[in-house]
Amino acid sequence: MLGHLELADVERKRYRLPSCKHIACLIVFLQTLAVLNPFRTTDASILQDTDLAGPLVFCLALGAFLLLSGKVHFGYIYGIGVMGCLGIYALLSLMAVSAVTLGTVVSVLGYCLLPMVILSGINVVLSLQGLTGFVLTGLAIAWCSLSASKLFVTALFMDHQQPLVAYPCALLYGVFALITIF
Amino acid sequence: MNLVAAQKGSRKKRVSDTAAMSAPAYPPPYNPYASAVPGNMPPNMNMYDGRYVLPPPYTASPDYSRIHPSFPPADQGFSIPSQFLNEPLVANVAMQYGQALVGSGKQLVGQELEKYVPFSRIKYYFAVDTRYVTKKLGLLFFPFTHSDWSLRYEQDGPVQPRYEINAPDLYIPTMAYVTYVLVAGLVLGMQDRFTPEVLSIQASTALAWTVFEIIVELITMYITNIQTNLKTLDLIAYGGYKYVGIIFAVLLSILFHKTGYFIGLIYCSMSLIFFLVRTLKVQILPIGTSPSHHDPYMHNSGNKRRMYLLLFVAGIQPFLMWWLSFHLISPPVPKS
């Protein structure tokens, strides 16, 4: 479990780097859960390293759950994801004083897609078209956009603009919810 | 790493080891400038024994030893430049040069782009905060009690929308436009008239009508020779405020069908006309009797033309609002 150790030399053990992919995945998952807690105060250092593997995993998981519900929407997820990321990147680069990179935007939006993945997982077993489904969808969208906007606002040092950032994120996640439900 | 080399019987000399990069030590055992035919090896290559030895994967030296083999095989005679670049000195210089090039390239692209799309001007219109947006939305729906419509100016331009409630912004129009497209899709979906093409049709139609409206206003201002402080982006902003009214009317139509739609449309039209007249009066019509201290561009001429322009800009809003939304309302359910 500790990476590629080809020879058991003492000298080699001195220089080995623990490249454990399983522990790294667990750490990423725990960080995601911690970050997505909307009641937690965050600091700007969490976005120092932009990680694109997590968002990719979440998009694939969303597509897999939709597949289980009988909908093949990978193209829609990709298209809406790309357009949404570009749009939010453009908006944030116009609104924020500090520099915005596309990697940061994709990383934050992808990580905050997790409640949508959970919603699509629920959609596999329950139908979301009733009143409870409506409420659950609203909660999921609110959770997604609140955590995304909180991450953006802390990372980009924007003041008094969190609802303004949350609204376009809510629109984007609303479109994802639409393709999940209908 | 020297310990490893010693333990391996010195059969391998890592060329990229910076400690070993003294001039006499470097060239002979690793001669990239000779042809890499095995028969041509210089006789003093006692450091090698012709075998291709894999270096250990984890070393403390820079990782160039992993990239190049310790003995160039015969078919790599043409890879001289890559081996040259594998020296850390050259690689560092190359990397710094590359980074400097990228930085200046980005700057150049930014400058060229700025000529066509003025990003710094557009940034002004997005300098908003939550308080401004909520107050502005309230003003769009109920402008009748607001008393002070004047704009404050700084040295070179108007004050940012964050600090001045009467300044136009582009955040609300942009968000209202996107929301309008999504609400149109939602409403059509509720009437079973939804296909994904409909969204793009709505978006492009609304965009085309907005562009058309702006062009007509600009041409009117040019032909009638009215000099104002209004810029194109201001006109785009004022033209985009109608989407807020459209959204409100369409949402009402979900609950109350045609009646609700028309009531919402009429109310939003009236408040938008009032809002635009009061806002643009400050910017188009000359200010009363005081000579224009802070406004050298407004001449006291063509008052009637300015009045007509004002009424035109404010008056086409209801028609456009109706044109962009009447096809979205559902017919009322017939009473059986």
Any chain B CB within 8 A of the CB of A49?
Answer: no
Q: How confident is the model at residue B96 (pLDDT cuts 50, 70, 90)?
A: confident
Residue B38 DSSP one-character state:
G
Q: Which of A103, A120, A106, A93 is CA-nearest to residue A176?
A: A120
Asked if A175 lies within 8 A of B182 by C-beta distance, the reply is yes
B17's tokens: 């080891």
How many residues are listed for chain B in this entry? Answer: 336
Q: How confident is the model at residue B273 (pLDDT cuts 50, 70, 90)?
A: very high
B48's tokens: 């090698």
For testing contact with chain A, the best of B63, B121, B126 (most A CBs within 10 A): B126
Asked if A7 lies within 8 A of B56 by C-beta distance, the reply is yes
How many domains would you assign to chain B? 1
Query: Which residues of chain B neighbour A16 with C-beta distances below 8 Å?
Result: 58
CB atoms within 10 A of CB B329: 21
At residue B291, the 3 state secondary structure works out as: coil
Q: How confident is the model at residue B334 (pLDDT cuts 50, 70, 90)?
A: low
For residue B158, the cross-strand partners are: B153
Q: Could you tell me if residue B112 is inside a domain?
A: no
pLDDT in tens, A67-81: 888 888 788 888 888
B58/chain A closest Cα distance in angstroms: 6
pLDDT at A145: 92
CB atoms within 10 A of CB B316: 16
Higher pLDDT, B180 or A46: B180
For residue B153, the cross-strand partners are: B158
pLDDT at A178: 82
Lowest mean pLDDT among B16-20, B88-92, B219-223: B16-20
Query: Which residues of chain A neighbour B59 with C-beta distances below 8 Å?
Result: 15
Q: Which of A109, A144, A115, A128 is CA-nearest to residue A71?
A: A128
B127/chain A closest Cα distance in angstroms: 6
Q: Which residue of B has its CA nearest to A12?
A: B58
CB atoms within 10 A of CB B1: 17
Among the partner-chain residues B57, B122, B179, the one whose CB lies closest to the CB of A94 is: B122
Q: Is the pLDDT of residue B22 over 50?
A: no
A95/chain B closest Cα distance in angstroms: 5
Q: How confident is the model at residue B123 (pLDDT cuts 50, 70, 90)?
A: confident
Q: Is the pLDDT of residue B292 over 50?
A: no
pLDDT at B57: 47
- Alpha-carbon span B219 to B297, nearest angstrom: 18
Q: Is the pLDDT of residue B30 over 80?
A: no
pLDDT, mean of residues B183-201: 84
Query: Which residues of chain A neighbour B171 with C-beta distances below 8 Å?
Result: 95, 164
Asked if A159 lies within 8 A of B131 by C-beta distance, the reply is no
Q: Could you tell me if residue B221 is inside a domain?
A: yes
Asked if B174 lies within 8 A of A91 by C-beta distance, the reply is yes
DSSP string, B259-295: HHHHHHHHHHHHHHHHHHHHHHHHHHS--SSS--SS-
pLDDT, mean of residues B106-120: 77
Among the partner-chain residues B127, B128, B178, the one whose CB lies closest to the CB of A171 is: B178
Q: Could you tell me if residue B305 is inside a domain?
A: yes
pLDDT at B108: 84
Range of the domain at B275: 169-286+300-328
B241/chain A closest Cα distance in angstroms: 17
Q: Could you tell me if residue B191 is inside a domain?
A: yes
Higher pLDDT, A72 or B75: A72
Backbone angles phi, psi at B153, to 5 degrees: -120, 145
pLDDT at A131: 85
- Could you give the dihedral angle defined by the CA atoms of residues A27, A33, A35 and A41, in that order, rounded to the nearest 10 degrees? -120
Check: CB of residue B266 under 8 Å from CB of residue B253.
no
pLDDT, mean of residues A102-116: 88
Whole-structure pTM over 0.80, yes or no? Answer: no
pLDDT, mean of residues A125-130: 81
Check: CB of residue B161 under 8 Å from CB of residue B173.
no
Q: Which residue of B has its CA nearest to A80?
A: B196
Asked if A163 lies within 8 A of B130 by C-beta distance, the reply is yes
Find the angle CA(B237)-CA(A141)-CA(B252) to the nearest 5 degrees.
Answer: 55
Among the partner-chain residues B4, B57, B119, the one whose CB lies closest to the CB of A4 is: B57
Asked if A160 lies within 8 A of B175 by C-beta distance, the reply is no
Among the partner-chain residues A4, A16, A160, the one whose CB lies closest to the CB of B130 is: A160
Mark which residues 68-107 of A lie under 8 Å from B by CB.
87, 91, 94-95
Check: CB of residue A179 under 8 Å from CB of residue A157.
no
pLDDT at B39: 46
Pure H helices in B15-167: 64-67, 80-85, 88-116, 119-125, 130-141
Tell me what percent of the residues of chain B surpass a pLDDT of 90.
Answer: 25
Q: Which residue of A has its CA nearest to B179?
A: A171
Q: Which residues contact A53 (CB under 8 A, 6 or more apart)?
A: A28
State how far the alpha carbon of A6 is from the alpha carbons of A3, A136, B57, B135, in Å: 9, 51, 9, 67
Q: Could you tell me if residue B194 is inside a domain?
A: yes
Q: How confident is the model at residue A49 (pLDDT cuts 50, 70, 90)?
A: low
Any chain B CB within 8 A of the CB of A16?
Answer: yes
A128/chain B closest Cα distance in angstroms: 16
- Could you give the dihedral angle defined by the CA atoms of residues B154, B159, B164 and B166, in that order, rounded to the nearest 10 degrees? 100
* ipTM of the complex as predicted: 0.77
Residue B153 DSSP one-character state:
B
pLDDT at B297: 53
Find the angle CA(A30)-CA(A138)-CA(A92) to the nearest 5 degrees.
Answer: 70
Q: Could you tell me if residue B44 is inside a domain?
A: no
